[in-house]
Amino acid sequence: MSASVETPTKTLLVALGVSLVCSVLVAAAAVGLRPRQAENELRFQQSNILAAAGLYDPARDVSEQFGQIEVRIVDLSSGEYVEDLDPSGYDTQAALRNPAQSDALDKSEDIANIKRRERYAKVYLLRDGDEIDTIILPIRGYGLWSTMYGFIALEADGNTVSGLSFYEHGETPGLGDKIEDPRWLGLWPGKKVYDADGEPQLEVIRGRAAADDPHSIDGMAGATLTGRGVTNMLTFWLGGQGYGPYLRRLEQSGSDS
């Protein structure tokens, strides 16, 4: 009697003990790997920033290449640099969760469908001596299925596109995911952001763009809504709600000092 009762009890205790030990080991492994995961994520971000500017060399160390990039924090409303925030410690996602550091967007102005906009944003600068050579800006906006995250690089005039890269999205494989296709991304350099009135005009159209059209990009067959999402994203982030005030300040001052 005693043995028949104790056997399942002991089995249950052993199973619970093994589960507890495994849980502790998994938790310890997760904690131990967290710094490495954070480092890998940082390097991934840096490689995409470099790629947008046409600087990424997969044969070289990413951190070494990124050493030529200057990171600043910008107040999106004023376009001024924020000197009392450390770029290395500024977390955009944390800012978006903090009502004191971000604002809810009204539907009428939220053409990128991002819900909230941070008050301060990172910008990345490549210099030629003391002068800015390339400006690299984080962008995000909703496509067909999810939010697309990327970077757009502009020449020193703040109007000519140097490059574009996307590093996270949930667009349809074989269709919307062509936003990562090097051939499609190769259509962007040289395009102009603004019209004569200073309004963003970059647009992914349906079909092929005319060769002499400085603002239009070839559409992606079967991915009209993804293309529209890219257009809306760029219109938002390069307009008055995004980096527009910063880019105008650079243009007016002729420098970023």
Q: Quickly list H helices, the chain.
A: 2-52, 62-66, 92-96, 182-185, 224-237, 244-253
Q: 159-170: per-residue pLDDT in tens?
A: 999 999 999 899
Give the mean pLDDT of 97-122.
96
Q: What are phi and psi of 47, to 5 degrees?
A: -65, -35
At 7 the pLDDT is: 72
Q: 48-88: per-residue pLDDT in tens?
A: 999 999 999 999 999 999 999 999 999 999 999 999 999 99
At 229 the pLDDT is: 96
Residue 29's pLDDT band, with cuts at 50, 70 and 90, is: low
Distance CA 125, CA 135 (A): 5
- Whether residue 90 contacts residue 123, with contact meaning beta carbons closer than 8 Å, is answered with no
Give the mean pLDDT of 123-146.
95
* Percentages of the chain per state (helix, strand, coil), in multiples of 5: 40, 25, 40
Domain range annotation of the chain: 1-67, 68-253
**DSSP 3-state assignment of 180?**
helix
Tell me which DSSP letter residue 176 carries.
G
At 1 the pLDDT is: 45
